[in-house]
Structure 1
């Protein structure tokens, strides 16, 4: 049974999708053992507490140097014997120090079809604003491993979502959450915990 940490900053809808997947037995070989928030007021903390999951708040501004923050984060992950880190709307930079310690053990969900609308500055509604400005007909979501390049790690799963003519950034964001993010993230965690994701030459292969 793998111990999973979910890192959050906001409402926690992707966290809830993972909690629900665990409750229904979709995620069989792992358990959410810790939720870490970058904000004290994140509603995701309430979701975790309701599910009986231990929570911690780690504020970047509470540390003078990035190295001090990294050490505190790694200490928490070690304390809870974490084997998989899931970034679910986490808005604090994960440094190379942490990434090296957890190579191919950190996954992130991004609200677009990477390599479109990704990289520095593409987060939250900014992603959907850019997609609508470009006039794309489909967008979607991507779950990928995290490496030193922003949104540049090996892609695990993707799902396309139709963009409608009258979409706003908010309606597109909601549809991508409902049709893609909340399905892809639990599936990726399920596959990881079952040992079915192999990384070869910067690409993933899903085992049968």
Structure 2
């Protein structure tokens, strides 16, 4: 679920040394936690240990979806058709839509689903001629559709992939069965921490800071019948500073959300999601198929 806080103007780099979110804040170096803060020299050298490559079931996600995703697995060559669900401003929806228009994502947003027809995400869809569907049917949204009607609408639009981008309602089991391994969500914490019903927006970041956690960050995961419990696909680590506020932390996490979600969606559209034998999804590198992200 994406927060409605504007991201920083600058884009951080890919390494710890080039990422301003990790090295600078308000023009100064961040105040560290722990012994280093009191001047103790306690540097530790960390190295990744060598380990055998995990045994993989080298089967793309689309090949594992026979009978799902609208009834037919999509071919790897054609552009995927995306349905995005939003409840608010839809900044992640906008990032995905812009990436699709720019060619970074091999797919197109063909329909937007929302429980709040007046939200910013719905307005952005209408301004870009993307059909808007209201779900579920509520007292204040009588134009809303039922679950069978929603499924029929997604089939009519030949949707391959469903993306949740700040959608606060629980996804019905019928939709999950219709799109196995084809529904993604973005959550603003490092799941499984600070996830589940009631954890969304600034509530997540307030809980992270109150817990004393030193790190947070977004998680992209597949969706199951519960809130935030599906298999993790990708994460980004964001530091929590000693004097952070929920708003400042939310802005840094949101900036990473826009990048990691686009990368995950691009991989799913290109059939680069591979499933390990224990059911863990991995992203296959576009440049080197022997590398998994």
Q: TM-score normalized by structure 1? A: 0.91
Change beyond 3 A, Cα 1:62–1:93: farther
State the Cα RMSD in Å: 1.7
Q: Does structure 1 residue 142 correspond to structure 2 residue 189?
A: no
Query: What SS does the aligned partner of 2:133 have?
Result: strand
Q: String of CA shifts for 1:4-51, please: whole Å, max 9, x gaps.
A: 0000110010111111211221012x1111111110211111211233
State how far apart, in whole Å, the 1-side matches of 2:82 and 2:154 are: 9
The structure with more helix, counted as a fraction of residues: 1
Structure 1 stretches (4+) deviating beyond 6 angstroms? none
- Give how far 1:60 is off: 3.6
Is the Cα contact below 8 Å between 1:19 and 1:51 reproduced in 2?
Answer: no
After TM superposition, list the pairs within 5 Å mapping 1:15-94 onto structure 2.
15-28=93-106, 30-61=107-138, 69-94=146-171
- Which has the larger Rg? 2
Gaps of 5+ in 2: 1-78
Tell me how many residue pairs correspond in the alignment.
Answer: 202
- Give how far 1:62 is off: 5.2
- Give how far 1:202 is off: 2.4
State how far apart, in whole Å, the 2-side matches of 1:60 and 1:140 are: 33
The structure with more strand, counted as a fraction of residues: 1
Aligned to 1:199: 275
Query: What SS does the aligned partner of 1:34 have?
Result: strand
Is the Cα contact below 8 Å between 2:264 and 2:283 reproduced in 1?
Answer: no
Q: Does structure 1 residue 104 correspond to structure 2 residue 181?
A: yes
State how far apart, in whole Å, the 2-side matches of 1:40 and 1:149 are: 24
Gaps of 5+ in 1: none
